[in-house]
Chain A
Amino acid sequence: MSLISQIISQLVNGLQSGSIYALVALGYSMVYGIILLLNFAHGDIIMIGAYVVFYAMTSFSLPPLVAVLLAVIACTLLGALIEKVAYTPLRSAPRLSLLITAIGVSFLLENGAQLVFGAGAKNVPSFIDGGVQIGDVYLSYVSVVTILVSVASMVVLTFLVQKTKLGKAMRAVSEDMGAAQLMGISLNRTISFTFAVGSALAGIGSVLYICAYGQASPTMGSMLGLKAFVAAVLGGIGSIPGAMIGGFVIGLLEALVTAVGLSTWKDGVVFAVLIVVLLVKPTGILGRQITEKV
Protein backbone atom coordinates (compact mmCIF):
# COMPACT_ATOMS: atom_id res chain seq x y z
CA MET A 1 0.00 0.00 0.00
CA SER A 2 1.49 3.31 -1.02
CA LEU A 3 2.08 6.15 1.39
CA ILE A 4 -0.55 8.29 -0.28
CA SER A 5 -3.27 5.69 0.08
CA GLN A 6 -2.24 5.12 3.69
CA ILE A 7 -2.59 8.81 4.35
CA ILE A 8 -6.00 8.83 2.67
CA SER A 9 -7.21 5.88 4.72
CA GLN A 10 -6.09 7.49 7.95
CA LEU A 11 -7.65 10.76 6.88
CA VAL A 12 -10.97 9.00 6.37
CA ASN A 13 -10.64 7.27 9.75
CA GLY A 14 -9.85 10.61 11.35
CA LEU A 15 -12.80 12.31 9.72
CA GLN A 16 -15.08 9.47 10.77
CA SER A 17 -14.23 9.54 14.46
CA GLY A 18 -13.85 13.30 14.25
CA SER A 19 -17.38 13.76 13.03
CA ILE A 20 -18.70 11.75 15.98
CA TYR A 21 -16.63 13.87 18.38
CA ALA A 22 -17.92 16.97 16.66
CA LEU A 23 -21.58 15.95 17.06
CA VAL A 24 -21.07 15.23 20.74
CA ALA A 25 -18.92 18.33 21.27
CA LEU A 26 -21.75 20.47 19.88
CA GLY A 27 -23.96 19.43 22.77
CA TYR A 28 -21.33 20.41 25.32
CA SER A 29 -20.68 23.71 23.66
CA MET A 30 -24.30 24.72 23.12
CA VAL A 31 -25.21 23.98 26.71
CA TYR A 32 -22.12 25.73 28.02
CA GLY A 33 -22.84 28.68 25.77
CA ILE A 34 -26.28 29.13 27.20
CA ILE A 35 -26.02 28.32 30.93
CA LEU A 36 -22.25 28.04 31.47
CA LEU A 37 -22.63 24.44 32.57
CA LEU A 38 -20.21 21.68 31.67
CA ASN A 39 -22.85 19.03 31.29
CA PHE A 40 -20.91 15.93 32.23
CA ALA A 41 -24.01 13.80 31.80
CA HIS A 42 -23.91 14.54 28.08
CA GLY A 43 -21.65 11.59 27.25
CA ASP A 44 -23.95 9.21 29.07
CA ILE A 45 -26.89 10.25 26.94
CA ILE A 46 -24.99 8.66 24.07
CA MET A 47 -24.75 5.44 26.00
CA ILE A 48 -28.52 5.38 26.50
CA GLY A 49 -28.97 5.98 22.78
CA ALA A 50 -26.73 3.01 22.04
CA TYR A 51 -28.81 0.74 24.27
CA VAL A 52 -31.99 1.92 22.60
CA VAL A 53 -30.55 0.85 19.25
CA PHE A 54 -29.46 -2.47 20.72
CA TYR A 55 -32.81 -3.38 22.27
CA ALA A 56 -34.82 -2.04 19.36
CA MET A 57 -32.89 -4.22 16.94
CA THR A 58 -32.49 -7.36 19.02
CA SER A 59 -35.40 -7.67 21.47
CA PHE A 60 -37.93 -5.98 19.21
CA SER A 61 -36.38 -6.88 15.84
CA LEU A 62 -37.16 -3.44 14.50
CA PRO A 63 -35.58 -2.34 11.24
CA PRO A 64 -32.35 -0.34 11.69
CA LEU A 65 -33.85 2.93 10.53
CA VAL A 66 -36.63 2.72 13.11
CA ALA A 67 -34.09 1.85 15.80
CA VAL A 68 -32.05 4.88 14.84
CA LEU A 69 -35.07 7.15 14.98
CA LEU A 70 -36.06 5.77 18.37
CA ALA A 71 -32.54 6.38 19.68
CA VAL A 72 -32.52 9.98 18.54
CA ILE A 73 -35.96 10.59 20.02
CA ALA A 74 -34.99 8.91 23.29
CA CYS A 75 -31.81 11.00 23.60
CA THR A 76 -33.68 14.21 22.83
CA LEU A 77 -36.32 13.50 25.47
CA LEU A 78 -33.74 12.34 28.01
CA GLY A 79 -31.65 15.48 27.54
CA ALA A 80 -34.66 17.74 27.99
CA LEU A 81 -35.83 15.70 30.98
CA ILE A 82 -32.46 15.90 32.73
CA GLU A 83 -32.47 19.64 32.23
CA LYS A 84 -35.98 19.98 33.70
CA VAL A 85 -35.46 17.70 36.67
CA ALA A 86 -31.84 18.32 37.61
CA TYR A 87 -30.79 21.73 36.30
CA THR A 88 -33.86 23.98 36.16
CA PRO A 89 -34.30 23.95 39.97
CA LEU A 90 -30.70 25.21 40.22
CA ARG A 91 -31.14 28.12 37.83
CA SER A 92 -30.05 30.68 40.41
CA ALA A 93 -27.71 28.42 42.38
CA PRO A 94 -23.91 28.84 42.22
CA ARG A 95 -22.34 27.31 39.14
CA LEU A 96 -20.41 24.79 41.21
CA SER A 97 -23.66 23.22 42.45
CA LEU A 98 -24.75 22.83 38.87
CA LEU A 99 -21.48 21.17 37.92
CA ILE A 100 -21.64 18.75 40.83
CA THR A 101 -25.22 17.92 39.91
CA ALA A 102 -24.11 17.17 36.35
CA ILE A 103 -21.48 14.76 37.64
CA GLY A 104 -24.14 13.19 39.84
CA VAL A 105 -26.49 12.73 36.91
CA SER A 106 -23.64 11.12 34.98
CA PHE A 107 -23.03 8.61 37.80
CA LEU A 108 -26.73 7.95 38.05
CA LEU A 109 -27.00 7.14 34.36
CA GLU A 110 -23.88 4.96 34.28
CA ASN A 111 -24.74 3.00 37.38
CA GLY A 112 -28.40 2.87 36.49
CA ALA A 113 -27.44 1.40 33.12
CA GLN A 114 -25.25 -1.17 34.81
CA LEU A 115 -28.15 -2.18 37.01
CA VAL A 116 -30.71 -2.35 34.24
CA PHE A 117 -28.66 -3.53 31.26
CA GLY A 118 -25.88 -5.42 33.05
CA ALA A 119 -22.23 -4.48 33.28
CA GLY A 120 -21.04 -6.37 30.19
CA ALA A 121 -20.90 -4.94 26.72
CA LYS A 122 -23.70 -5.80 24.30
CA ASN A 123 -22.90 -6.50 20.68
CA VAL A 124 -25.08 -4.50 18.38
CA PRO A 125 -25.68 -6.15 15.00
CA SER A 126 -24.02 -4.07 12.31
CA PHE A 127 -26.38 -2.57 9.82
CA ILE A 128 -24.12 -0.79 7.40
CA ASP A 129 -21.87 -3.40 5.81
CA GLY A 130 -19.37 -3.36 3.01
CA GLY A 131 -17.51 -0.67 1.21
CA VAL A 132 -15.77 0.17 -2.00
CA GLN A 133 -12.22 -0.33 -3.16
CA ILE A 134 -10.83 2.74 -4.88
CA GLY A 135 -7.34 1.95 -6.09
CA ASP A 136 -5.67 0.53 -2.99
CA VAL A 137 -7.83 2.56 -0.64
CA TYR A 138 -10.75 0.72 0.94
CA LEU A 139 -13.58 3.02 1.83
CA SER A 140 -16.14 1.46 4.16
CA TYR A 141 -19.73 2.60 3.81
CA VAL A 142 -19.86 3.21 7.56
CA SER A 143 -17.16 5.86 7.23
CA VAL A 144 -18.91 7.50 4.31
CA VAL A 145 -22.32 7.46 5.98
CA THR A 146 -20.87 8.75 9.27
CA ILE A 147 -19.15 11.68 7.64
CA LEU A 148 -22.12 12.56 5.45
CA VAL A 149 -24.69 12.30 8.25
CA SER A 150 -22.54 14.43 10.54
CA VAL A 151 -21.95 17.12 7.99
CA ALA A 152 -25.66 17.15 7.11
CA SER A 153 -26.58 17.44 10.81
CA MET A 154 -24.20 20.35 11.19
CA VAL A 155 -25.67 22.11 8.18
CA VAL A 156 -29.17 21.68 9.60
CA LEU A 157 -27.99 22.88 13.01
CA THR A 158 -26.33 25.95 11.51
CA PHE A 159 -29.54 26.81 9.68
CA LEU A 160 -31.54 26.27 12.86
CA VAL A 161 -29.31 28.51 14.95
CA GLN A 162 -28.81 31.23 12.35
CA LYS A 163 -32.22 31.50 10.75
CA THR A 164 -35.04 30.27 12.96
CA LYS A 165 -36.72 32.23 15.69
CA LEU A 166 -35.80 29.74 18.41
CA GLY A 167 -32.24 29.55 17.13
CA LYS A 168 -31.90 33.30 17.29
CA ALA A 169 -33.38 33.27 20.78
CA MET A 170 -30.72 30.73 21.72
CA ARG A 171 -27.97 33.02 20.53
CA ALA A 172 -29.55 35.95 22.33
CA VAL A 173 -29.82 34.04 25.61
CA SER A 174 -26.26 32.79 25.35
CA GLU A 175 -25.00 36.31 24.79
CA ASP A 176 -27.02 38.09 27.46
CA MET A 177 -29.62 36.25 29.48
CA GLY A 178 -31.07 39.36 31.11
CA ALA A 179 -31.40 41.33 27.89
CA ALA A 180 -32.93 38.30 26.19
CA GLN A 181 -35.65 38.13 28.84
CA LEU A 182 -36.35 41.81 28.29
CA MET A 183 -37.07 40.95 24.63
CA GLY A 184 -39.80 38.56 25.73
CA ILE A 185 -37.73 35.41 25.30
CA SER A 186 -38.62 32.65 27.73
CA LEU A 187 -35.47 31.31 29.38
CA ASN A 188 -37.02 27.99 30.26
CA ARG A 189 -38.22 27.27 26.77
CA THR A 190 -34.99 28.36 25.14
CA ILE A 191 -32.79 26.39 27.51
CA SER A 192 -34.94 23.25 27.14
CA PHE A 193 -34.74 23.65 23.40
CA THR A 194 -30.95 23.89 23.57
CA PHE A 195 -30.70 20.72 25.62
CA ALA A 196 -33.07 18.94 23.27
CA VAL A 197 -31.10 19.93 20.18
CA GLY A 198 -27.75 19.07 21.78
CA SER A 199 -29.11 15.72 22.90
CA ALA A 200 -30.57 14.96 19.50
CA LEU A 201 -27.09 15.45 18.05
CA ALA A 202 -25.73 13.15 20.74
CA GLY A 203 -28.37 10.63 19.68
CA ILE A 204 -27.16 10.80 16.10
CA GLY A 205 -23.60 10.50 17.43
CA SER A 206 -24.51 7.41 19.42
CA VAL A 207 -25.92 5.69 16.37
CA LEU A 208 -22.83 6.51 14.33
CA TYR A 209 -20.64 5.33 17.19
CA ILE A 210 -22.19 1.88 17.33
CA CYS A 211 -22.09 1.64 13.56
CA ALA A 212 -18.34 2.01 13.92
CA TYR A 213 -17.66 -0.01 17.08
CA GLY A 214 -20.64 -2.33 17.31
CA GLN A 215 -20.87 -2.32 21.10
CA ALA A 216 -22.93 -0.72 23.83
CA SER A 217 -21.67 -0.67 27.41
CA PRO A 218 -22.64 1.35 30.50
CA THR A 219 -19.37 3.30 30.54
CA MET A 220 -18.99 3.84 26.81
CA GLY A 221 -20.19 7.42 27.15
CA SER A 222 -17.52 8.56 29.53
CA MET A 223 -14.46 8.28 27.30
CA LEU A 224 -16.32 9.45 24.22
CA GLY A 225 -17.82 12.27 26.27
CA LEU A 226 -14.45 13.32 27.65
CA LYS A 227 -12.85 13.42 24.24
CA ALA A 228 -15.75 15.38 22.82
CA PHE A 229 -15.37 17.72 25.76
CA VAL A 230 -11.70 18.22 24.84
CA ALA A 231 -12.85 18.91 21.28
CA ALA A 232 -15.31 21.52 22.54
CA VAL A 233 -12.64 23.22 24.65
CA LEU A 234 -10.16 23.12 21.78
CA GLY A 235 -12.67 24.72 19.42
CA GLY A 236 -13.67 27.26 22.03
CA ILE A 237 -16.36 26.19 24.43
CA GLY A 238 -19.62 27.96 23.70
CA SER A 239 -18.86 28.25 20.00
CA ILE A 240 -20.83 26.08 17.58
CA PRO A 241 -18.40 26.21 14.64
CA GLY A 242 -15.63 25.79 17.22
CA ALA A 243 -17.08 22.47 18.38
CA MET A 244 -17.26 21.24 14.81
CA ILE A 245 -13.65 22.20 14.10
CA GLY A 246 -12.47 20.85 17.46
CA GLY A 247 -14.14 17.50 16.83
CA PHE A 248 -12.51 17.03 13.45
CA VAL A 249 -9.11 18.16 14.75
CA ILE A 250 -9.23 15.62 17.59
CA GLY A 251 -10.33 12.85 15.23
CA LEU A 252 -7.58 13.63 12.75
CA LEU A 253 -5.01 13.91 15.52
CA GLU A 254 -5.92 10.46 16.79
CA ALA A 255 -5.63 9.07 13.28
CA LEU A 256 -2.23 10.70 12.93
CA VAL A 257 -1.01 9.26 16.21
CA THR A 258 -2.25 5.84 15.12
CA ALA A 259 -0.66 6.19 11.70
CA VAL A 260 2.78 6.76 13.12
CA GLY A 261 2.39 3.58 15.15
CA LEU A 262 1.62 5.07 18.57
CA SER A 263 -2.01 4.01 18.83
CA THR A 264 -1.67 3.19 22.53
CA TRP A 265 -0.83 6.88 23.09
CA LYS A 266 -4.02 8.07 21.37
CA ASP A 267 -5.94 8.99 24.52
CA GLY A 268 -2.89 10.49 26.17
CA VAL A 269 -2.29 12.78 23.24
CA VAL A 270 -5.91 13.99 23.28
CA PHE A 271 -5.70 14.95 26.94
CA ALA A 272 -2.30 16.53 26.40
CA VAL A 273 -4.05 18.73 23.87
CA LEU A 274 -6.54 19.76 26.56
CA ILE A 275 -3.72 20.74 28.90
CA VAL A 276 -1.90 22.68 26.21
CA VAL A 277 -5.06 24.52 25.14
CA LEU A 278 -5.90 25.41 28.72
CA LEU A 279 -2.39 26.72 29.26
CA VAL A 280 -1.89 28.54 25.98
CA LYS A 281 -5.32 29.67 24.82
CA PRO A 282 -8.07 28.79 27.31
CA THR A 283 -10.72 30.31 25.05
CA GLY A 284 -9.85 27.79 22.32
CA ILE A 285 -9.73 28.36 18.60
CA LEU A 286 -12.97 30.31 18.20
CA GLY A 287 -13.92 30.92 21.80
CA ARG A 288 -14.99 34.27 23.10
CA GLN A 289 -14.52 35.74 26.50
CA ILE A 290 -17.64 35.07 28.51
CA THR A 291 -18.64 38.01 30.65
CA GLU A 292 -21.25 37.55 33.27
CA LYS A 293 -24.14 39.91 33.63
CA VAL A 294 -27.25 40.10 35.75
Chain B
Amino acid sequence: MLKVDNINVYYGNIHAIKDVSFEVNEGEIVTLIGANGAGKSTILKTISGLLRTKTGDVILKGESIKSVAPHKIVAKGLAHVPEGRRVFLAMSVEENLEMGAYTQPASSIAPNMQEVFQWFPRLKERRRQMAGTLSGGEQQMLAMGRAMMSGAKVLLLDEPSMGLSPLLVKEIFEIITELNKRGMTILLVEQNAQMALSVAQRAYVLETGRIIMQGSAAELLNDDSVRKAYLGA
Protein backbone atom coordinates (compact mmCIF):
# COMPACT_ATOMS: atom_id res chain seq x y z
CA MET B 1 0.00 0.00 0.00
CA LEU B 2 2.72 2.41 1.09
CA LYS B 3 6.37 1.80 0.47
CA VAL B 4 9.29 3.97 1.51
CA ASP B 5 12.34 2.93 -0.42
CA ASN B 6 15.80 4.08 0.65
CA ILE B 7 15.06 7.72 1.41
CA ASN B 8 17.58 10.33 2.57
CA VAL B 9 16.23 13.61 3.84
CA TYR B 10 18.20 16.72 4.71
CA TYR B 11 17.54 19.99 6.50
CA GLY B 12 20.20 22.09 4.81
CA ASN B 13 23.38 20.29 5.86
CA ILE B 14 21.73 18.21 8.53
CA HIS B 15 21.26 14.66 7.34
CA ALA B 16 18.06 13.81 9.21
CA ILE B 17 16.98 10.55 7.54
CA LYS B 18 19.54 8.00 6.42
CA ASP B 19 18.75 5.18 3.99
CA VAL B 20 15.35 4.46 5.45
CA SER B 21 13.14 1.81 3.86
CA PHE B 22 9.94 0.27 5.16
CA GLU B 23 6.54 -0.84 4.06
CA VAL B 24 2.96 -0.65 5.26
CA ASN B 25 0.66 -3.28 3.80
CA GLU B 26 -3.01 -2.76 3.14
CA GLY B 27 -5.07 -3.05 6.31
CA GLU B 28 -2.09 -2.93 8.66
CA ILE B 29 -1.21 -0.71 11.57
CA VAL B 30 2.54 -0.17 11.46
CA THR B 31 4.27 1.89 14.08
CA LEU B 32 7.47 3.85 13.93
CA ILE B 33 8.95 4.37 17.37
CA GLY B 34 11.98 6.34 18.42
CA ALA B 35 13.24 8.96 20.84
CA ASN B 36 12.98 12.72 20.43
CA GLY B 37 14.72 13.87 17.31
CA ALA B 38 15.03 10.39 15.82
CA GLY B 39 13.38 11.58 12.63
CA LYS B 40 9.85 10.21 12.91
CA SER B 41 8.06 13.41 11.94
CA THR B 42 10.56 14.02 9.18
CA ILE B 43 9.65 10.69 7.61
CA LEU B 44 5.92 11.42 7.75
CA LYS B 45 6.44 14.86 6.23
CA THR B 46 8.44 13.29 3.45
CA ILE B 47 5.67 10.81 2.71
CA SER B 48 2.99 13.52 2.60
CA GLY B 49 5.16 15.72 0.39
CA LEU B 50 6.00 18.58 2.77
CA LEU B 51 9.65 17.54 2.60
CA ARG B 52 11.53 15.90 -0.25
CA THR B 53 13.89 12.95 -0.31
CA LYS B 54 17.21 13.22 -2.11
CA THR B 55 17.29 9.55 -3.01
CA GLY B 56 15.03 6.57 -3.43
CA ASP B 57 11.28 6.73 -3.71
CA VAL B 58 7.97 6.90 -1.90
CA ILE B 59 5.35 4.67 -3.43
CA LEU B 60 1.61 4.82 -2.73
CA LYS B 61 -0.56 2.10 -4.28
CA GLY B 62 2.17 1.31 -6.78
CA GLU B 63 2.64 4.92 -7.86
CA SER B 64 5.64 7.11 -7.05
CA ILE B 65 4.60 10.18 -5.06
CA LYS B 66 8.02 11.53 -4.18
CA SER B 67 7.68 14.51 -6.52
CA VAL B 68 3.92 14.98 -6.24
CA ALA B 69 2.78 18.23 -4.58
CA PRO B 70 1.41 17.68 -1.06
CA HIS B 71 -2.07 18.91 -1.93
CA LYS B 72 -2.27 16.32 -4.69
CA ILE B 73 -1.11 13.49 -2.46
CA VAL B 74 -4.18 13.98 -0.23
CA ALA B 75 -6.36 13.50 -3.27
CA LYS B 76 -4.64 10.14 -3.84
CA GLY B 77 -6.05 8.86 -0.56
CA LEU B 78 -3.32 9.58 1.98
CA ALA B 79 -4.00 11.86 4.93
CA HIS B 80 -1.46 13.08 7.47
CA VAL B 81 -2.43 14.12 10.99
CA PRO B 82 0.58 16.24 11.91
CA GLU B 83 2.40 16.41 15.21
CA GLY B 84 0.84 18.97 17.53
CA ARG B 85 -2.52 18.62 15.72
CA ARG B 86 -2.24 21.86 13.81
CA VAL B 87 -5.97 22.39 13.60
CA PHE B 88 -7.00 25.82 12.32
CA LEU B 89 -7.50 27.59 15.63
CA ALA B 90 -9.33 30.59 14.19
CA MET B 91 -11.85 28.40 12.39
CA SER B 92 -14.85 26.57 13.78
CA VAL B 93 -14.90 22.80 14.22
CA GLU B 94 -17.17 22.52 11.20
CA GLU B 95 -14.93 24.68 9.04
CA ASN B 96 -11.92 22.60 10.04
CA LEU B 97 -13.77 19.49 8.93
CA GLU B 98 -14.74 21.19 5.67
CA MET B 99 -11.09 21.94 5.05
CA GLY B 100 -10.37 18.27 5.54
CA ALA B 101 -12.74 17.55 2.67
CA TYR B 102 -11.12 20.15 0.43
CA THR B 103 -10.36 17.65 -2.32
CA GLN B 104 -13.80 16.04 -2.11
CA PRO B 105 -16.94 17.00 -4.02
CA ALA B 106 -19.18 19.34 -2.02
CA SER B 107 -21.88 16.67 -1.88
CA SER B 108 -19.70 14.38 0.21
CA ILE B 109 -19.10 16.92 2.98
CA ALA B 110 -22.36 16.40 4.86
CA PRO B 111 -22.29 12.58 4.92
CA ASN B 112 -18.58 12.50 5.76
CA MET B 113 -19.15 14.94 8.59
CA GLN B 114 -21.96 12.79 9.98
CA GLU B 115 -19.60 9.87 9.97
CA VAL B 116 -16.88 11.84 11.76
CA PHE B 117 -19.45 12.93 14.34
CA GLN B 118 -20.28 9.28 14.94
CA TRP B 119 -16.65 8.58 15.69
CA PHE B 120 -16.25 11.71 17.79
CA PRO B 121 -19.62 12.74 19.25
CA ARG B 122 -17.91 15.46 21.25
CA LEU B 123 -17.04 17.29 18.05
CA LYS B 124 -20.69 17.39 17.12
CA GLU B 125 -21.59 19.18 20.34
CA ARG B 126 -18.88 21.71 19.64
CA ARG B 127 -19.26 22.09 15.91
CA ARG B 128 -19.76 25.86 15.95
CA GLN B 129 -17.03 26.48 18.48
CA MET B 130 -13.65 27.88 17.39
CA ALA B 131 -11.03 25.13 17.33
CA GLY B 132 -8.77 27.35 19.45
CA THR B 133 -11.17 26.98 22.36
CA LEU B 134 -11.13 23.15 22.33
CA SER B 135 -9.20 21.10 24.85
CA GLY B 136 -6.08 19.26 23.73
CA GLY B 137 -7.95 15.99 23.48
CA GLU B 138 -10.75 17.53 21.46
CA GLN B 139 -8.22 19.14 19.14
CA GLN B 140 -6.65 15.72 18.58
CA MET B 141 -10.07 14.32 17.73
CA LEU B 142 -10.65 17.22 15.38
CA ALA B 143 -7.29 16.67 13.70
CA MET B 144 -8.13 13.02 13.14
CA GLY B 145 -11.69 13.77 12.07
CA ARG B 146 -10.39 16.37 9.65
CA ALA B 147 -8.08 13.82 8.08
CA MET B 148 -10.90 11.30 7.81
CA MET B 149 -12.99 13.87 5.92
CA SER B 150 -10.66 13.42 2.95
CA GLY B 151 -11.87 9.89 2.43
CA ALA B 152 -8.29 8.66 2.87
CA LYS B 153 -7.45 4.97 2.84
CA VAL B 154 -4.04 5.52 4.42
CA LEU B 155 -3.63 7.57 7.58
CA LEU B 156 -0.35 8.92 8.94
CA LEU B 157 -0.66 9.72 12.65
CA ASP B 158 2.11 11.71 14.33
CA GLU B 159 2.05 11.29 18.12
CA PRO B 160 -1.71 11.29 18.62
CA SER B 161 -1.21 10.65 22.36
CA MET B 162 0.98 13.69 22.94
CA GLY B 163 -0.12 15.71 25.95
CA LEU B 164 -3.29 13.71 26.59
CA SER B 165 -4.51 12.18 29.84
CA PRO B 166 -4.21 8.38 30.10
CA LEU B 167 -7.96 8.06 29.73
CA LEU B 168 -8.01 10.06 26.51
CA VAL B 169 -4.98 8.20 25.19
CA LYS B 170 -6.93 4.99 25.67
CA GLU B 171 -9.94 6.47 23.87
CA ILE B 172 -7.86 7.66 20.93
CA PHE B 173 -6.13 4.30 20.61
CA GLU B 174 -9.45 2.47 20.67
CA ILE B 175 -10.56 4.62 17.79
CA ILE B 176 -7.32 3.92 15.91
CA THR B 177 -7.90 0.17 16.35
CA GLU B 178 -11.53 0.45 15.29
CA LEU B 179 -10.65 2.55 12.22
CA ASN B 180 -8.14 -0.10 11.26
CA LYS B 181 -10.71 -2.88 11.67
CA ARG B 182 -12.92 -1.05 9.21
CA GLY B 183 -10.18 -1.08 6.61
CA MET B 184 -7.97 1.92 7.29
CA THR B 185 -4.25 1.41 6.74
CA ILE B 186 -2.34 3.26 9.43
CA LEU B 187 1.23 4.40 9.93
CA LEU B 188 1.51 5.43 13.56
CA VAL B 189 4.38 7.45 14.99
CA GLU B 190 4.64 7.41 18.76
CA GLN B 191 6.88 8.09 21.68
CA ASN B 192 4.41 6.15 23.78
CA ALA B 193 5.90 2.88 22.55
CA GLN B 194 3.90 0.72 24.92
CA MET B 195 0.61 1.95 23.52
CA ALA B 196 1.80 1.95 19.94
CA LEU B 197 3.12 -1.62 20.11
CA SER B 198 -0.08 -2.82 21.72
CA VAL B 199 -2.22 -1.73 18.75
CA ALA B 200 0.21 -2.24 15.87
CA GLN B 201 0.88 -5.43 13.96
CA ARG B 202 4.43 -4.52 13.00
CA ALA B 203 6.97 -1.94 14.13
CA TYR B 204 10.17 -0.22 13.12
CA VAL B 205 12.58 1.36 15.58
CA LEU B 206 14.24 4.56 14.49
CA GLU B 207 17.42 5.95 16.01
CA THR B 208 19.14 9.12 14.78
CA GLY B 209 17.64 8.85 11.34
CA ARG B 210 18.19 5.13 10.78
CA ILE B 211 16.02 2.08 11.22
CA ILE B 212 17.87 -0.07 13.71
CA MET B 213 15.29 -2.75 14.31
CA GLN B 214 12.08 -4.11 12.89
CA GLY B 215 9.66 -6.91 13.54
CA SER B 216 6.20 -7.83 14.70
CA ALA B 217 4.86 -5.64 17.48
CA ALA B 218 4.74 -8.65 19.81
CA GLU B 219 8.40 -9.45 19.14
CA LEU B 220 9.50 -5.91 19.87
CA LEU B 221 7.36 -5.70 23.01
CA ASN B 222 9.35 -8.63 24.35
CA ASP B 223 12.75 -7.55 23.08
CA ASP B 224 15.10 -6.62 25.90
CA SER B 225 16.83 -3.73 24.21
CA VAL B 226 13.51 -2.23 23.13
CA ARG B 227 12.11 -2.68 26.62
CA LYS B 228 15.13 -0.92 28.07
CA ALA B 229 15.25 1.95 25.63
CA TYR B 230 11.59 2.65 24.96
CA LEU B 231 9.41 0.94 27.50
CA GLY B 232 11.25 2.05 30.62
CA ALA B 233 11.62 -1.51 31.83
Contacts and interface: CB of A to CB of B under 8 A. Distances in A.
26 contacts: A169-B99, A169-B102, A171-B88, A172-B88, A172-B91, A178-B50, A178-B82, A179-B87, A180-B99, A181-B69, A181-B71, A182-B86, A182-B147, A183-B102, A183-B150, A184-B71, A184-B74, A184-B102, A184-B150, A185-B71, A185-B99, A186-B71, A187-B71, A293-B86, A294-B45, A294-B50
A22 B229 CA distance: 59
A180 B102 CA distance: 10
Contacts of A180: 99
Contacts of A168: 91, 95, 98-99
B100 interface: yes
Contacts of A293: 86
Interface string B122-158: 0000000000000000000000001100100000000
B210 interface: no
Contact of B91 (A171, A182, A185, A288): A171
Contacts of A288: 90
Contacts of A185: 71, 99, 102
B117 to A, nearest CB: 19
Contacts of A171: 88, 90-91
Contacts of B100: 183
B86 A178 contact: yes
B79 A182 contact: yes
A181 B86 contact: no
A179 B87 CA distance: 8
Contacts of A165: 98, 102, 106
Interface residues of A, number: 20
A294 B82 CA distance: 11
A146 B103 CA distance: 39
Interface in A151-171: 165, 168-169, 171
Given A175-B88, A183-B100, A294-B45, 14 more contacts: A165-B102, A165-B106, A171-B90, A172-B91, A172-B99, A179-B82, A181-B70, A182-B48, A182-B79, A183-B71, A183-B146, A184-B71, A184-B75, A294-B50
B80 interface: yes
A241 B152 CA distance: 36
B213 interface: no
A175 B99 contact: no
B209 interface: no
Nearest to A186: B71
Contacts of B90: 171, 175, 288
B69 A182 contact: no
A179 B80 CA distance: 9
B49 interface: yes
A32 to B, nearest CB: 16
Nearest to A174: B90
Nearest to A176: B86
A187 B75 CA distance: 15
Contacts of A178: 50, 82, 86
Nearest to B147: A182
B88 A181 contact: no
Contacts of A187: 71
Nearest to A162: B95
A288 B90 CA distance: 11
Contact of B74 (A172, A176, A182): A182
A184 B90 CA distance: 19
